[in-house]
Amino acid sequence: MSEASMRFLRSNLGGILASTTSSLRLRLHQLSPAGGFSSGSLEFSKCGFLGTSVLSEAVDSITPQAMPVSRQFARTMVSSARSVVEAADKAVVPGLRQTLWNQHDQKVTFPKLEKDASFDVIVVGAGISGLSIAYNLLKAGKSVIVIESRVVGAGMTGRSTAHIMPWFDDYYHIVEKLHGFENTKHVAASYVKAIDWIDQTVNEEKIDCNFSRVDGYLYPHDDSKVAHNKLEKEFDVCRKLGLNVEMVDLGRDPSSGSIGTALKFSNAGQFDPIKYVNGLAKAVASKGGKIYETTKVRKIDNNQVTTADGVIVTGEEVVLATFTPPHREQLIHTFQQPEYYYAVGLKLPKGSVKKSLWWDTATPYHNVRIEEKEDHDVLVVAGENHDSGKKFEEYQDAYKKLEQWAKERWTSAGEVLCKWTGQIYRPVGFVPLIGPDPLAGNTGGLVAWDQLIVTGDSGQGITSGTIAGILITDMILKKDNPWAAIYSPKRRATSTKETVTGTGERVWNTIEGIKDLLPFAGTDNVDIEDLAPCGGCVVQSGVSKMAVYKDEKGCLHKFSAICPHLGCVVKWNPIDGVFNCPCHGSIFDHHGTVVNGPALVDLSRID
């Protein structure tokens, strides 16, 4: 190759990989039929990454025969450009957020699965549930594979505020009403055990994740009799359960949120969730577990999992630790409702607030914790929950409301350092769903294989994910566990009224989503040409619904607005710049890429 050709490649391809600016521009200079140059671009920008398909198509269009240069030069150019595509794919993980824990800095650490394999247990999902399950099974001598569509911690584990709580945030007295006292004892015991398990694992594996034991405080959100009665009722049940709890008076000290009466739960915990799952993944790998990232699952059939590339993995057991199961059958999705929440991190003077956890009795409630930094602390506040995919126009001020709420109580709180959203699943009966799929079984079940699922985190995913690590392991090892019945996805609450009401609300939620399929229902009254840069909408296009996104250059990107999971119409979320499915919680980034299930595939692109 000539020196001129080498200079061409260095200047136009080498620079692509070397650039690290926030507006990284990837340029592929392509020889035109006339022998001149035309250029296409692919970039990182404030609107997000545009994907690599455009570059791939451009590369594939370059052939030695079509270019008036040497065949060797053409081959080298194509090879180099394809390397750029692969590097971009590895460098860019869709759906990550800039949280306090720096989720958006997560990189691909483990390889992509590229050949068929067989293991004792297949775990789908590399969040806290999947990794906890894999870790325990490996210690028990099982061979385990963990398949992750993006990277470790890319899901809601990495967005968690990571309260590790002995208190059940849907209230023990409500669990007792719905499920009886014995079952409530099992829930309380499992929550305490989960904290101890994390503590032990952090020490055994030397995971540097800022784990610490702290006190947690449940307090009335106002001075009303209703709020105080709620606290008293919870205190009575917690004492009966044998929890380490006491009623205290914090004296309305501003360093404690100006709180007076509160329930104090000793020996709660907190950590950095990203550092923790990274450490847990390392421990899984060190024990012989196989973790594969950027490996999308397309089909789950009996004891086989097939990836998007057609690779087949066979196992004696299949565990779906995917936040919500990617099933097309409806039953499990009528058992829970997806909810959005918001979180902000406010700067605090170093040591100005005692490191603790706080939870108020409001509906939706607020939760607060402290994260220590080198020269300051951070007050992490979350709340403002609402049903996913609905009425985002009403929540444009959610971050501001959290900031104002926090500063009224913790008066030393200063500037907002970070803010992000997350999603939870609130199950019927409130207790998480951990165990065999409700329609599974080899005796006529709609799901032929006894797949095990972990879902319905109810806002306490760190604790419930750890519980899943213990309970699912016992199930696979055929060990009796007293927690199994209360966590079973097949359970029935003792209060039939509550079960019927809860399930009815969730079925109606799906019906509302499907009725948007009617002409002009569920659409935005906008002209797509008038969209602001980085804006999106859902519009009627003939007989179809179309999801539209306008990038910062003014280019329109169009997709089917029909969620590929079960056919509901997605909604544009202007806060996150994504499309949300209001029925079952699937999330698609602004280029239609699925970043949260149960959907397994992207929104269909419309040319």
Tokens of 500: 């019927």
Query: What are the tens digits of pLDDT across the range 489-545?
Result: 988 755 555 555 555 555 555 666 666 655 656 667 788 888 999 999 999 988 788
Q: Would you state the pLDDT for residue 400?
A: 95
Strands 312-320 and 452-455: parallel
Pairing of strands 312-320, 117-124: parallel
User: What pLDDT is recorded for position 37?
Assistant: 30
Predicted pLDDT at 167 = 96
CA–CA distance, 169 with 157 (Å, rounded to integer): 17
**In which residue ranges of the chain is pLDDT below 70?**
1-92, 327-330, 392, 440-450, 493-523
Instruction: Walk me through the domains of the chain, giving residue ranges and CATH numbers.
Output: 3-91 (no CATH), 516-596 (2.102.10.10)
pLDDT of residue 525: 74
Beta strand extents in 197-244 (DSSP E only): 212-219
Query: Would you call 508 exposed, middle or buried from its count of C-beta atoms within 10 A (0-12, 13-18, 19+)?
Result: exposed
Q: CA-to-CA distance for 166 and 216, rounded, in angstroms?
A: 9
CA angle 340, 536, 579 (to 5 degrees): 35
